[in-house]
Amino acid sequence: MSEPLRVALAGLGTVGGGVIRLLDANRELIARRAGREIEIVAVSARDRGKDRGVDLSRFVWVDDTTALAKQPGADVVVELIGGSDGPALTLARSTLGAGRSFVTANKAMIAHHGLELAQAAEGAGVALKFEAAVAGGIPVIKGLREGAAANEIARVYGILNGTCNFILSKMESEGRDFAEVLAEAQALGFAESDPSFDIDGVDAAHKLSILAAVAFGTQPAFDDVAISGIRRLLGADIAEAAALGYRVRLLGLAEAGTDGLFQRVHPHLVPIDHPLAHVTGSLNAVVAEGNFVGRLLFQGAGAGDGPTASAVVADLIDIARGEFGPPFAMPVVSLT
Ligand SMILES: NC(=O)c1ccc[n+]([C@@H]2O[C@H](COP(=O)([O-])OP(=O)(O)OC[C@H]3O[C@@H](n4cnc5c(N)ncnc54)[C@H](OP(=O)(O)O)[C@@H]3O)[C@@H](O)[C@H]2O)c1
């Protein structure tokens, strides 16, 4: 077997911890699939003393997270910190600038800076991968970038935010109002203490802009997404929709039109016989319509340590196999 792929890991929270656990649990299988071992060599987060439920003593600890870009012996940096700018972006720029591959789950950063980072990766001949940034564990970036690569895509849409779907499903099944269900979702850990990115549709818009770029061969354009969230929905709206044969879902939708690409996130009335009407709780689902393959439906867990780590490690396996290729499915120069 060849040399291991050596990983420097930034961020040891929900997803970072999940990546360590997954690599520990499936080490041999992953090595057989990847053709070599995937080995974490260095880690970094804010608080060195925090108990994370995993043994970190076998890794080099690095206090300055952004220094991981140049960690001796590392082939690839995995960023699981979050935030569109700040240390995540500094780390991304310096890793790619140092000619190393970069994997992230950070939708905000890819939505805002994906084009610049893709340019840097292509220039350096290294990989930039972000499967976990859209719909967590669902391999939808791979599905579009690889499996459906031969198709012209007419439309891609889906449930891209598990928090909103959890709230809407509860409002629907229990006939309750938004504020009450949000409070419960926060208590259960399904919603952040500041839930605005989720409930105002910003998180779904980050993901949609990435998905649209991959599906349509366009530059990611977060500012072009028309966004409206679920804050103002009443239990009565949902009951009325149900009486008419619909369910309410927060959808992100990107569609090719004669005037270019149309991208929007807002609550939609989904007919009861459509598969998305039956996606409940915190699940995500994405539909893509290709001109030869027809309608594809991807469904699964859009968040959580295990599912998100599954997507991050899939990207690492690609890199271990030498599968690089353009981050947005075609070279940056070809994106319109
Ligand atoms: N959670 C999910 O289900 C999920 C799903 C899809 C994508 N994502 C994305 O994955 C990324 C990580 O999410 P998460 O849920 O794992 O977050 P998290 O649990 O809050 O963990 C964030 C980690 O980053 C570290 N960190 C924060 N600020 C830092 C700084 N300035 N310098 C160095 N380290 C810093 C934290 O360190 P300390 O632990 O020391 O405080 C923590 O280990 C985000 O981009 C998120 O959008 C998450």
The average pLDDT across 47-72 equals: 97
Q: What is the CATH number of the domain that holds 297?
A: 3.30.360.10
If asked whether residues 225 and 324 sit together in one domain, one would say no
Closest by CA to 63, choosing from 97, 87, 82, is 87
Tokens of 150: 């031969």
Q: Is 94 in the pocket of ligand 1 (CB under 6 A)?
A: no
Strand partners, 287: 157, 297
DSSP letter string, 60-129 = EE-SSGGGGGG-TT-SEEEE-S--SSHHHHHHHHHHHHTT-EEEE--HHHHHHHHHHHHHHHHHHT--EE
What is the model's pLDDT at position 306?
97
pLDDT confidence band for 193 (50 / 70 / 90)? confident
> pLDDT tens digit string along 242-301?
999 999 999 999 999 888 999 999 999 999 999 999 999 999 999 999 999 999 999 999
What is the residue with the minimal CA distance to atom 21 of ligand 1? 13
The average pLDDT across 191-206 equals: 94
Counting every residue written for the chain, the total comes to: 336
What is the model's pLDDT at position 189?
82
Q: Is 82 in the pocket of ligand 1 (CB under 6 A)?
A: yes
Q: How far apart, in Å, are the Cα atoms of 178 and each of 95, 169, 184, 188, 235?
A: 42, 11, 10, 15, 7
What is the model's pLDDT at position 112?
98
**Do residues 171 and 181 make contact, with C-beta atoms less than 8 angstroms apart?**
yes
CA of 271 to the centre of ligand 1 (A): 36
- Average pLDDT over the chain reads 97
What distance, in Å, lies between the first and last C-alpha atoms of the chain? 41
Encoded amino acid at 323, one letter: E
If asked whether residues 148 and 289 sit together in one domain, one would say yes
**Do residues 114 and 91 make contact, with C-beta atoms less than 8 angstroms apart?**
no
Domain extent at residue 313: 5-137+305-334
CA of 15 to the centre of ligand 1 (A): 7
If asked whether residues 170 and 200 sit together in one domain, one would say yes
Q: Point out the ligand 1 atom lying closest to the alpha carbon of residue 109.
A: 45
pLDDT confidence band for 192 (50 / 70 / 90)? confident
**Would you call 277 exposed, middle or buried from its count of C-beta atoms within 10 A (0-12, 13-18, 19+)?**
middle
If asked whether residues 223 and 133 sit together in one domain, one would say no
**Is 135 a residue whose pLDDT tops 80?**
yes
pLDDT > 70: what percent of the chain?
100
If asked whether residues 287 and 172 sit together in one domain, one would say yes
Q: Which of 50, 81, 131 to mutate to test the pocket of ligand 1 (most atoms within 8 A of CB)?
A: 81
CA of 336 to the centre of ligand 1 (A): 32
Q: Which of 9, 12, 15 to mutate to test the pocket of ligand 1 (most atoms within 8 A of CB)?
A: 15
The average pLDDT across 126-140 equals: 98
> pLDDT tens digit string along 8-24?
999 999 999 999 999 99
d(CA 172, CA 238): 6
Q: Is 68 in the pocket of ligand 1 (CB under 6 A)?
A: no
If asked whether residues 216 and 236 sit together in one domain, one would say yes
**Is 54 a residue whose pLDDT tops 90?**
yes
If asked whether residues 196 and 284 sit together in one domain, one would say yes
What is the residue with the minimal CA distance to atom 12 of ligand 1? 80
If asked whether residues 288 and 168 sit together in one domain, one would say yes
CA of 72 to the centre of ligand 1 (A): 23
d(CA 209, CA 191): 22
Q: Which residues are catalytic?
A: 207
> pLDDT tens digit string along 150-174?
999 999 999 999 999 999 999 999 9
Q: Is 141 in the pocket of ligand 1 (CB under 6 A)?
A: no
Q: Is 137 in the pocket of ligand 1 (CB under 6 A)?
A: no
Q: For the chain, how many structural domains are there in total?
A: 2
**Is 232 a residue whose pLDDT tops 90?**
yes
Q: Which of 20, 46, 59 to mutate to test the pocket of ligand 1 (most atoms within 8 A of CB)?
A: 46
CA of 295 to the centre of ligand 1 (A): 34
What is the model's pLDDT at position 191?
85
Contact partners, residue 230, CB within 8 Å, separation at least 6? 164, 167, 168, 178, 199, 201, 250, 267
d(CA 163, CA 196): 11
The average pLDDT across 139-147 equals: 98
**Is 93 a residue whose pLDDT tops 90?**
yes
Encoded amino acid at 258, one letter: T
What is the model's pLDDT at position 298?
98
**Is 1 a residue whose pLDDT tops 80?**
no
If asked whether residues 256 and 311 sit together in one domain, one would say no
pLDDT confidence band for 36 (50 / 70 / 90)? very high
If asked whether residues 172 and 232 sit together in one domain, one would say yes
What is the residue with the minimal CA distance to atom 23 of ligand 1? 11
If asked whether residues 147 and 292 sit together in one domain, one would say yes
CA of 80 to the centre of ligand 1 (A): 5
Q: Is 210 in the pocket of ligand 1 (CB under 6 A)?
A: no
The average pLDDT across 116-130 equals: 98
The average pLDDT across 191-220 equals: 96
Q: What is the CATH number of the domain that holds 321?
A: 3.40.50.720
Q: How far apart, in Å, are the Cα atoms of 280 and each of 167, 200, 224, 252?
A: 9, 19, 28, 16
Q: Is 252 in the pocket of ligand 1 (CB under 6 A)?
A: no
The average pLDDT across 72-79 equals: 97
d(CA 168, CA 162): 10
Per DSSP, the three-state class of 250 is strand
Number of Cβ within 10 Å of residue 262's Cβ equals 15
Sign of CA dihedral 105, 109, 110, 116: negative
If asked whether residues 294 and 309 sit together in one domain, one would say no
What is the model's pLDDT at position 227?
98
